[in-house]
Chains A and B, each alone.
Chain A
């Protein structure tokens, strides 16, 4: 297998927060009855976490499960294992009406780090309340980043992750870079 290359090949930028394209992340779209015991069990077995509630993401060391819609989870797994885990899910859900599909290559993931200021960068681009009391680690929000669909979550305080479609990775990176330009701090969240 030739080497897989993420959309921006790990590009980084240092503004008033650090921006990095995370490289390839395994992602599986799982659609089904999120309340069904069999599906919950399969998700837990695969990712090692209890499936999240609406608007949330459940995170473990190398995996995460995000609530996307009333019938959809996004499973984040190591990239190299995505196909295999997708097949495992299919097997575990045999007989259930569900759809598991590897979408790892369809996405680009960014990581912002640099304290509370990461909230400001997002607040310049996404119509989401970035106050700590309104959004924090454990929450997952599908939104828009300027003109593109995106989702955001915080693996921990001071760190923000963003996922968008691969084809618009450069647009997303440019937006984030501009929003984090030194001198453009808003000073609202620190």
Chain B
């Protein structure tokens, strides 16, 4: 059983006990524990069930590579699934629960899958559930979803805050082990601005656990000294609890800082995502130990040898009293020596190498530990816990020579440098045969825009496993990075590391080497996704020869740990099965983030009130206070209508239309785009932009214009006012303000750069209010001494006036068909004018109206709306707007496109009015059917509805639509089927339903 030792635990503060719960069980740990060490100290070996077979699983590792020990952490607004216990710092009051089991961790019904595992090999789902097709969606998938999967998604709103931080450095060093520390020191000494980040709360990495000396003193002493030195350097920033999550193009990288995970009640954000630009990045990310693939290697109590050592040295926790060591390299002997020195038993070290180990083996032997060279584990005895091992020859097929009782197994299959961050942005890898590892190919690094290297590996991440070489390598990397960032330096004094020499590793990908199928089916590669040696071999046999295919077929490396422990072992098995060398198989792609980061940290400030910018007009506050039912229009919120108490939305809209047509309405039109275009070539420029002529517009006058893109399609419309000889004001649609301004600038900057035209987007400078209805002039006259009569300010004219004491510009334009003035005032006085108009209009029953009333009134008049009548495929000619297309102009944007055969095809659908025979309202977007069916067996169509409303003015439904030969078919009746199967019949009519002669607006 695992337990807390009486002594040891360099990271612990034993004087500070902490309480926590696991599956409701109250447990105790101490300050400095990770959740993993605290669980183990309480003999909680079983921590979860596996993904597919629901096998009992325990903690395997001590760091971010942990595949098994995932828990649901916290509760309610702080619940988060799939949290690795090895990277979770213990705090007082922590609550967590294991995952993927039902009804309980100890007794799990899903474990029946394990009994069926022979029938659930790789690709089982693909093969089994393909037929019959409808079964997947309705039967198979829901059941599989229920039984598979890890943690549950949180139900409550996240109660913490998160933020971003932008930072800029010459050199960023990722990893605060001895390599990272030395690299940062070298770069800092050269004068570079350096950021050193370490994902754990502690500096020094695993070197203090592994032993050896630096400059004659213990490694942790060296670590303390170098950290103190770095802290005094003004140009070096040190951050712990910050992981290098990803490396991207141009020296961009993400640092994931976990500020409050270990103190959830502290003030400030929980996570901060650093968005960093670095001239050079040093990856001092260390290495990860590989498991060995023997039968039963997933039983709780089987652990990486380095992790067993970490728990003893760092946390004073032993995994068992009797630990069998199994290895193919010298490093695992360190674990044996550590355990023995702690007074724990090591019954045997199984060294798969026939020739055995070096100096460390001698040391272990001298301590009296039995060492068996050339031996291996045939299988592990036990179910929910290790009970013993059956020993065999590594070279054989697994015939059991001997059984040894033990309660823990420490395994080491060698070390893989953490090359993830090196690889994120294209760094290549080399297979090092001697060390049996992929390490960075420093001649093929990630390169920046200048083609030069911007990432360097350092220390173990560069494949250097020997302390003296680690320090030399890291020092060189730090100096080289600083130099590349413009800070050359002379070589300083290098700390000298000393540690035992090691005998070479012998790669062991399967244990024993000739294991039969029964053993291979119990030899796990990917713990989290339940992929075994036999699955990868099956994939290879079935033709999934590419490592990327084999990965997806077997799901090897596709779990939340992204195969940190399994990838190399898996591709070695694949290579072996295919009979090719490992480098020929290659690796799968390493993608950011290195380990999962919170989604909330990615969102950063984009939540709640700051989820996205919400644009408000100067009158927005009034709208909010007066029953506005808002609709989004771009980033604006515009009132759709203003509801009175007890009034439905439909009723409000109908009331607003009637009140405006009968007397007086007010519309907040501030969102309309307004662009100043000025210069000697402004007229010529607008003649190119609009389909009609603008250059001959007289100052003081307005003209409606259409804008098309180069393909001839209608993209915006609006009223242009000529302010003076040189200056025009172009109104755009609300949504078009920014894009049309950009469109103008693009043409001016790229094609007509020699034309003398300047533009300015003044959309937000003005609040604009449409004063609409028969009483519009009367209300203005109450507020101004200026002459706004029909003669002084005629239809399609504009005039500067003083209105309610405010400098204003009144445009006499109408989108409703009523007498109408659009009045623009400085935005900061918009609310004042709105209030003044409401007060002055009271006697006329002034009625603020929203966008829906605006839409109805324009539709009654047959005015088109960009986005309703247009959809990016409609040209002005389709809409009967030929009158707005100049025949005189030599050119305008879209002209040539509109002359192409398809655009002049007489069968293009054209705009007409549609009047239902029964007075009902057509569904928006409904199609008019025609005889026969098309090649897909669908009904042929001959038109569609583009706008449809109930008109309160006419008391019936009105609609516009695009119809085949429409304008020539006045009076024809079309069928519009509804989704409920019934059909509405509608007659083709003129699109202008109301006041065709314009008598109402022209008074």
A window 148-190: CB within 8 A of B = 148, 165-171, 174-175, 178-179, 181-186, 188
Contact in complex: B605, A125 (CB < 8 Å): yes
Q: Could you say which of A105, A131, A146, A181 contacts B766, with CB atoms under 8 Å apart? A: A105
Q: How far apart are B164's CB and chain A's nearest CB, in angstroms?
A: 6
Q: How far apart are A54's CB and chain B's nearest CB, in angstroms?
A: 18
Contact in complex: B679, A97 (CB < 8 Å): yes
B218 interfacial by beta-carbon distance below 8 Å:
no
Contact in complex: A31, B758 (CB < 8 Å): yes
- Which stretch of A1-9, A43-51, A109-117 is in the interface? A1-9
Contact in complex: A106, B758 (CB < 8 Å): no
Contact in complex: B832, A184 (CB < 8 Å): no
Q: How far apart are B176's CB and chain A's nearest CB, in angstroms?
A: 17
Q: In whole angstroms, how far apart are the Cα atoms of A98 and B760 in the complex?
A: 11
- A124-B165, A181-B161, A186-B272 known; A165-B764 Cβ under 8 A: yes
Can you name the residue of chain B whose Cβ is closest to the Cβ of A183? B267
Can you name the residue of chain A whose Cβ is closest to the Cβ of B761? A106
B608-634 vs A: 1/0 string, CB under 8 Å? Answer: 011011111110000000000000000
Prevailing SS type, chain A contact patch: loop
- A1-B805, A101-B762 known; A147-B613 Cβ under 8 A: yes
Most A CB contacts (10 A, CB to CB) among B267, B616, B764 go to: B764
Contact in complex: A101, B168 (CB < 8 Å): no
Contact in complex: A103, B268 (CB < 8 Å): no
Inside 8 A of A101's CB, which chain B residues have their CB? 676, 760, 762, 765
Q: How far apart are B699's CB and chain A's nearest CB, in angstroms?
A: 15
A129 interfacial by beta-carbon distance below 8 Å:
yes
- A106-B765, A167-B617 known; A147-B612 Cβ under 8 A: yes
Contact in complex: A186, B165 (CB < 8 Å): yes
A24 interfacial by beta-carbon distance below 8 Å:
yes
Contact in complex: A182, B267 (CB < 8 Å): yes
Inside 8 A of A148's CB, which chain B residues have their CB? 613
Inside 8 A of A129's CB, which chain B residues have their CB? 166-168, 277
Inside 8 A of A127's CB, which chain B residues have their CB? 166, 275
B window 803-837: CB within 8 A of A = 804-807, 826-829, 831-833, 836
B window 731-782: CB within 8 A of A = 756, 758-760, 762-766
Q: How far apart are B803's CB and chain A's nearest CB, in angstroms?
A: 10
Can you name the residue of chain A whose Cβ is closest to the Cβ of B826? A105
Q: Could you say which of A99, A128, A146 contacts B610, with CB atoms under 8 Å apart? A: A146
Q: In whole angstroms, how far apart are the Cα atoms of A167 and B621 in the complex?
A: 12
Contact in complex: A2, B613 (CB < 8 Å): no
Inside 8 A of A186's CB, which chain B residues have their CB? 165, 272
Q: How far apart are B580's CB and chain A's nearest CB, in angstroms?
A: 46
Q: In whole angstroms, how far apart are the Cα atoms of A168 and B193 in the complex?
A: 36
Q: In whole angstroms, how far apart are the Cα atoms of A6 and B827 in the complex?
A: 9
Contact in complex: B826, A103 (CB < 8 Å): no
A139 interfacial by beta-carbon distance below 8 Å:
no
Contact in complex: A105, B758 (CB < 8 Å): no
Inside 8 A of B277's CB, which chain A residues have their CB? 129
Inside 8 A of A24's CB, which chain B residues have their CB? 828
Q: Could you say which of A97, A104, A128 contacts B756, with CB atoms under 8 Å apart? A: A97
- A97-B680, A105-B764, A167-B617 known; A4-B829 Cβ under 8 A: yes
Can you name the residue of chain B whose Cβ is closest to the Cβ of A98? B758
- A101-B676, A105-B765 known; A146-B606 Cβ under 8 A: yes
Q: In whole angstroms, how far apart are the Cα atoms of A126 and B161 in the complex?
A: 18
Q: In whole angstroms, how far apart are the Cα atoms of A101 and B761 in the complex?
A: 10
Inside 8 A of A174's CB, which chain B residues have their CB? 609-610
- A101-B760, A105-B766, A183-B266 known; A166-B827 Cβ under 8 A: yes
- A101-B676, A124-B605, A175-B605 known; A168-B828 Cβ under 8 A: no
Q: How far apart are A102's CB and chain B's nearest CB, in angstroms?
A: 7
A window 58-94: CB within 8 A of B = 71, 83
B439-471 vs A: 1/0 string, CB under 8 Å? Answer: 000000000000000000000000000000000
Inside 8 A of A3's CB, which chain B residues have their CB? 829, 832
Q: In whole angstroms, how far apart are the Cα atoms of A28 and B610 in the complex?
A: 29
B98-118 vs A: 1/0 string, CB under 8 Å? Answer: 000000000000000000000
B431 interfacial by beta-carbon distance below 8 Å:
no
B844 interfacial by beta-carbon distance below 8 Å:
no
Q: How many residues of A contact B (CB 8 A)?
A: 54
Contact in complex: B806, A147 (CB < 8 Å): no
Q: In whole angstroms, how far apart are the Cα atoms of A179 and B272 in the complex?
A: 11
Can you name the residue of chain A whose Cβ is closest to the Cβ of B767? A105
Q: In whole angstroms, how far apart are the Cα atoms of A35 and B502 in the complex?
A: 71
Q: Could you say which of B193, B272, B605, B833 contacts A178, with CB atoms under 8 Å apart? A: B605
B345 interfacial by beta-carbon distance below 8 Å:
no
Can you name the residue of chain B whose Cβ is closest to the Cβ of A184? B268
Can you name the residue of chain A whose Cβ is closest to the Cβ of B670? A167
Q: How many residues of B contact A (CB 8 A)?
A: 55
A123 interfacial by beta-carbon distance below 8 Å:
yes
Prevailing SS type, chain B contact patch: mixed
Contact in complex: A167, B616 (CB < 8 Å): yes
Q: In whole angstroms, how far apart are the Cα atoms of A169 and B167 in the complex?
A: 25
Inside 8 A of B272's CB, which chain A residues have their CB? 186
Contact in complex: A178, B610 (CB < 8 Å): yes
Contact in complex: B765, A179 (CB < 8 Å): no
Q: In whole angstroms, how far apart are the Cα atoms of A185 and B759 in the complex?
A: 42
Contact in complex: A168, B615 (CB < 8 Å): yes
Q: In whole angstroms, how far apart are the Cα atoms of A102 and B825 in the complex?
A: 12
Contact in complex: B616, A170 (CB < 8 Å): yes
Inside 8 A of B165's CB, which chain A residues have their CB? 123-124, 186
- A99-B679, A127-B275 known; A106-B764 Cβ under 8 A: yes
Q: How far apart are B673's CB and chain A's nearest CB, in angstroms?
A: 12
Contact in complex: A4, B614 (CB < 8 Å): no
Inside 8 A of B680's CB, which chain A residues have their CB? 97
Contact in complex: B267, A124 (CB < 8 Å): no
Q: How far apart are A5's CB and chain B's nearest CB, in angstroms?
A: 5
Contact in complex: A179, B163 (CB < 8 Å): yes
- A128-B166, A171-B610 known; A99-B676 Cβ under 8 A: yes
Contact in complex: A167, B806 (CB < 8 Å): no
- A171-B610, A182-B267 known; A105-B679 Cβ under 8 A: no
Contact in complex: A29, B805 (CB < 8 Å): no
Contact in complex: A2, B829 (CB < 8 Å): yes
Contact in complex: A104, B826 (CB < 8 Å): yes
Contact in complex: A103, B756 (CB < 8 Å): no
Q: How far apart are B826's CB and chain A's nearest CB, in angstroms?
A: 4
Inside 8 A of A167's CB, which chain B residues have their CB? 615-617, 636, 764
B678 interfacial by beta-carbon distance below 8 Å:
yes
B269 interfacial by beta-carbon distance below 8 Å:
yes
Inside 8 A of B161's CB, which chain A residues have their CB? 178, 181, 184
Can you name the residue of chain B whose Cβ is closest to the Cβ of A120? B165
Contact in complex: B827, A2 (CB < 8 Å): no
Q: How far apart are A42's CB and chain B's nearest CB, in angstroms?
A: 15
A134 interfacial by beta-carbon distance below 8 Å:
yes
Inside 8 A of A29's CB, which chain B residues have their CB? 760
Contact in complex: A105, B827 (CB < 8 Å): yes
Contact in complex: B613, A168 (CB < 8 Å): yes
Contact in complex: B805, A106 (CB < 8 Å): no
Inside 8 A of B166's CB, which chain A residues have their CB? 123-124, 126-130
Q: In whole angstroms, how far apart are the Cα atoms of A135 and B581 in the complex?
A: 54
Q: Could you say which of A31, A98, A103, A125 contacts B762, with CB atoms under 8 Å apart? A: A103
B window 248-304: CB within 8 A of A = 266-269, 272, 275, 277
Q: In whole angstroms, how far apart are the Cα atoms of A181 and B272 in the complex?
A: 14
B237 interfacial by beta-carbon distance below 8 Å:
yes
- A31-B758, A171-B614 known; A1-B765 Cβ under 8 A: no
Inside 8 A of A106's CB, which chain B residues have their CB? 762-765, 827
> What are the 7 A-B residue pairs with the smallest beta carbon separation, nearest first?
A183-B267, A183-B268, A4-B828, A167-B615, A99-B758, A106-B764, A105-B827
Q: What are 10 A-B contacts with C-beta separation under 8 Å?
A: A1-B829, A3-B832, A4-B826, A31-B760, A97-B756, A99-B678, A99-B760, A130-B166, A134-B168, A167-B615
A-B contact sample (8 more), CB < 8 A, given A5-B832, A124-B166? A99-B759, A101-B762, A105-B827, A107-B764, A125-B605, A131-B168, A167-B636, A168-B615
